[in-house]
């Protein structure tokens, strides 16, 4: 049986073919959707300037994925009723790629992440998100239904760069590996908030796009300001390997020092990639860098020998340059 849910058509029925009670999922969605928001901000290159978030407190805290969009100074947040607010980043988790935003609002509907120990493989799940920027005002976001395929740990890459997070994930067959879906909630059949849809990645095992979500336990730990137990396996600098591309950044300024390139070492990875003095670095490997310190940290975290994209502003033009970092020597 097919019914219209939140502006899209979704097929109802269990994986084994037995019927799900009518309106069970649509009723859950009706309760949950008011806590889902649309996000708009900076987009550049392969980074899209729109996404999805979940309100997690009545006073306007919003959980979403960390990206160039969420790192923007001012994010435009559109509520389910069409109201717009300015969202500002409160806290980020580089490893889990999560961001907590805050808007100046109160008495909002919100969701609390649920533990996932009740889930079994084959259970029905549903993902909510703003795929391809379909919704811009009070229109309902898109819904995609599937089943829980497996639990595993993430082993993936974005372009050619390995993803740092190697912790637990939920894998499902609903297609969410599309622009705008990241940061939306994954629900069980009862509407429990069991996970947050992750950004587009490719599985290092299958070389295919992966539809996955961070489980509720990881979300609870992030909201409780607890580090992920799996963070000890983080790639790059966390295991003692740092990268270098051969640039020196300008240190002129007060408080906020933008990531202007002062000098490029001849023959270095940066020189080979085409970086020049006076370039302003705005993103490294898909992550926006707000200042020189953040840029240097992002470069250190790259994997030596593996290509990474660096976005620079040169005059009035934005350029994406591919650099292959080398291992930093002490």
Encode pLDDT of 34-54 as tens digits. 999 999 986 555 556 789 999
Asked whether residue 9 carries a pLDDT value surpassing 50, the answer given is: no
pLDDT of residue 288: 74
Rounded CA gap, 22 and 14, in Å? 12
240 pLDDT above the threshold of 70: no
Distance CA 25, CA 270 (A): 52
Mean predicted lDDT score pLDDT of the chain: 83
Which residue, among 65, 61, 62, has the nearest Cα to 48 in the 3D structure? 65
- What is the pLDDT, as a whole number, of residue 238? 43
Q: Where are the domains of the chain?
A: 1-232, 239-327
Tokens 């760069």 belong to 161
Averaged over 106-114, what is the pLDDT? 96
pLDDT digit string, tens, across residues 81-103: 999 999 999 999 988 999 999 99
Whether the per-residue pLDDT at 327 is higher than 50: the answer is: yes
Token pair of 71, please?
A: 């790192």
* CATH class given for the domain over 1-232: mainly beta
Work out the average pLDDT over 323-328.
91
User: Domain 239-327 class?
Assistant: mainly beta
State residue 68's pLDDT score: 72
How many CA atoms are closer than 13 Å to the CA of 3, on its beta-carbon side? 14
pLDDT at 217 over 50: yes
pLDDT tens-digit map of 267-303: 999 999 999 999 999 888 877 777 888 888 889 888 8
Percent of the chain with pLDDT over 70: 82
Q: How far apart are CA 83 and CA 8, in angstroms?
A: 22
Say if 1-232 and 239-327 have the same CATH topology: no
Lowest mean pLDDT among 149-153, 179-183, 226-230, 283-287: 226-230
């Amino acid at each position: 049986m097919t019914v219209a849910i939140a502006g899209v058509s979704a097929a109802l029925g269990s994986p084994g073919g037995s019927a799900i009670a009518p309106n069970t999922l649509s009723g859950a969605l009706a309760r949950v959707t008011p806590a889902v928001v649309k996000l708009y901000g900076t987009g550049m290159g392969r980074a899209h300037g729109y996404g999805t978030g979940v309100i997690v407190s009545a006073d306007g805290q919003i959980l979403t994925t960390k990206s160039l969009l969420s790192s923007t100074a001012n994010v435009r947040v559109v509520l389910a009723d069409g109201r717009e607010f300015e969202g500002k980043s409160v806290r980020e988790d580089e490893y889990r790629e999560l961001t907590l935003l805050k808007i100046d609002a109160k008495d909002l509907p919100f969701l609390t992440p649920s533990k996932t120990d009740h889930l079994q493989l084959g259970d029905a799940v549903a993902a909510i998100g703003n795929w391809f920027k379909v919704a811009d005002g009070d229109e309902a976001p898109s819904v995609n239904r599937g089943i829980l395929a497996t639990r595993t740990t993430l082993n993936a890459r974005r372009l050619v760069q390995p993803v740092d997070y190697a912790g637990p994930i939920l894998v499902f067959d609903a297609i969410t590996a599309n622009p705008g879906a990241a940061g939306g909630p994954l629900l069980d059949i009862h509407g429990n908030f069991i996970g947050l849809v992750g950004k587009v990645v490719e599985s290092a095992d299958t070389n295919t796009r992966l539809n996955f979500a961070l489980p509720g336990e990881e979300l609870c730990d992030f909201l409780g300001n607890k580090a992920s137990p799996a963070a000890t396996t983080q790639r790059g600098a966390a295991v003692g390997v740092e990268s270098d591309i051969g640039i020196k950044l300008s240190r002129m300024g007060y408080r906020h020092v933008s990531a202007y390139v002062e000098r490029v070492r001849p023959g270095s990875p940066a020189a080979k990639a085409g970086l020049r003095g006076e370039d302003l670095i705005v993103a490294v490997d898909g992550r926006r860098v707000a200042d020189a310190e953040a840029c240097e940290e992002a470069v250190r975290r790259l994997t030596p020998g593996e290509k990474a994209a660096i976005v620079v502003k040169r005059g009035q033009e934005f350029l994406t340059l591919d650099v292959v970092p080398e291992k930093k020597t002490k």
